[in-house]
């Protein structure tokens, strides 16, 4: 059943015009129109874009984007009928349009879709086109509580999620800067899943954070989040949440071939040390020292006496030929451990091999 088109600009403001507008949307519902058809029809009637978002699971909020043009006396009537039609379409579908099919979010985050398909997904997801969003990539295999920690830190705002490949994508509105968000997420994850973390115990999530962008460019934020995820680590003393914007030149390290990194003689030697239980503690302690910057802070973090920390670091120094009191050697050690962590994290994320080297038993 086709619905005859009408234009708000061609209608008067008398009761007959109101009835004509009501009848139009009633006919639309009788034709079994879905949410997309309702929004497209509303845009045709209003002759301007219509933004829809869902303030609850069943209550839509609609807005006419007139871009400075004068409102029409029947705007509120139109919006009322749009809301009614969307509620009916959602009820008929047996699910909320606000959350939508996860496939819609996956479509939005794909860089292979046409702009028209992205716009359709945005409408059906009820996203506000005027607000900036960012996308987070959360590692697969994280326990449910780990994901709840991340979502809780994002506040009361709506969060859309979908599993893509091995990771979970979270799309949310964002106004805070990358440093504030990544530091807050990192602290929350560490508090919920403090190191050291036994290999077989539920670990906190790894989180990569994409840059803020328009909802139409969410795919770029998703790609950045996935790239940042390679630098994150839920094991030991690496960062749990890494913002792509904070990587700077370090981002180039993500392009190093995984196999080549693991074959490098320094990385291979560190992995050989970490393959033994005592050596694993030595490597973990050295990594903590490189991150924390002092024996005292490292001892406090690990709940060890500073002499034990010094002895463990000395074992690694002897095996690797380093002197961590020397600035060049300390930089080399930090870089080797950092590149190793990227390689091990990347291997686990892609399922290409175990990364329990260095885990506490």
Q: Is the pLDDT of residue 139 over 90?
A: no
Residue 39 resides in a domain: yes
Does residue 224 form part of some domain? yes
Total of domains in the chain: 3
* pTM of full prediction above 0.75: no
Model confidence at 125: pLDDT above 50:
yes
**Using 50, 70 and 90 to split pLDDT, how confident is the model at 259?**
confident
Q: What pLDDT, on the 0 to 100 scale, is given for residue 357? A: 43
Per-residue pLDDT at 217: 94
Q: What is the pLDDT of residue 209?
A: 96
Cβ contacts of residue 238 below 8 Å, gap of 6+? 231, 232, 287, 291, 341, 345
Q: Do 145 and 234 lie in a common domain?
A: yes
Q: What is the pLDDT of residues 270-283, one digit of tens each?
A: 999 999 989 999 99
Question: Buried b vs exposed e over 286-324: b needs ≥16 C-beta within 10 Å?
Answer: bbbbbbbeeeeebbebbebeeeebeebbebbbeebebeb
Quick one: pLDDT band at residue 97, thresholds 50, 70, 90? very low
Do residues 27 and 53 share a domain?
yes
Say if residue 251 is in the same domain as residue 136: yes
Residue 356 lies in a domain: no
Q: Are residues 144 and 207 in the same domain?
A: yes
194/306 same-domain check: no
The answer on pLDDT for 222 being more than 60 is yes
Please give the residue range of the domain that contains residue 325: 258-350
pLDDT the model gives residue 15: 87
Do 294 and 246 share a structural domain?
no
Q: Based on the domain organization, do 300 and 284 belong to the same domain?
A: yes
Residue 200 has pLDDT above 70, yes or no: no
Q: Are residues 141 and 228 in the same domain?
A: yes
């Amino acid at each position: 059943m086709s619905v005859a088109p009408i234009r708000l600009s061609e209608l008067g403001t008398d009761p007959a015009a109101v009835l004509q507008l009501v009848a139009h949307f009633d006919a639309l519902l009788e034709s079994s129109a879905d949410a997309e058809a309702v929004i497209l029809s509303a845009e045709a009637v209003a002759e301007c874009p219509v933004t829809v978002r869902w303030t609850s699971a069943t209550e839509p909020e609609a807005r006419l984007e007139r871009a400075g043009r004068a409102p029409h006396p029947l705007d509120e009537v139109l919006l009322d009928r749009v809301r009614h039609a969307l509620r009916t379409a959602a009820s008929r579908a047996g699910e909320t349009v606000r959350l939508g099919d996860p496939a819609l979010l996956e479509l939005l985050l794909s860089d292979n879709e046409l702009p028209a398909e992205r716009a359709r997904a945005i409408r059906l997801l009820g996203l506000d086109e005027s607000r900036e969003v960012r996308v987070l990539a959360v590692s697969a295999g994280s326990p449910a509580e780990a994901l709840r920690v991340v979502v809780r830190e994002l506040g009361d705002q709506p969060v859309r999620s979908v599993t893509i490949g091995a990771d979970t994508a979270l799309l949310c509105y964002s106004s805070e800067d990358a440093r504030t968000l990544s530091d807050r997420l990192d602290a929350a994850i560490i508090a919920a899943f403090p190191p050291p973390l036994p290999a077989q115990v539920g670990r906190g999530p790894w989180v990569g954070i994409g840059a803020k962008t328009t909802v139409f460019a969410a795919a770029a934020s998703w790609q950045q989040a996935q790239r940042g995820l390679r630098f994150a680590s839920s094991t030991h003393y690496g960062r749990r949440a890494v913002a792509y914007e904070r990587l700077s030149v370090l981002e180039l390290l993500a392009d190093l071939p995984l196999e080549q990194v693991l074959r490098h003689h320094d990385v291979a030697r560190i992995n050989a040390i970490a393959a033994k239980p005592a050596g694993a503690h030595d490597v973990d302690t050295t990594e903590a020292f490189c991150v924390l910057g002092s024996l005292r802070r490292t001892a406090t973090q690990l709940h060890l006496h500073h002499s034990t920390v010094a002895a463990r670091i000395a074992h690694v120094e002897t095996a690797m030929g380093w002197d961590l009191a020397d600035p060049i050697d300390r930089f080399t050690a930090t870089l080797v451990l950092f590149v190793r962590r990227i390689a091990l994290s990347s291997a686990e994320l892609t399922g290409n091999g175990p990364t329990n080297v260095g885990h506490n038993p």
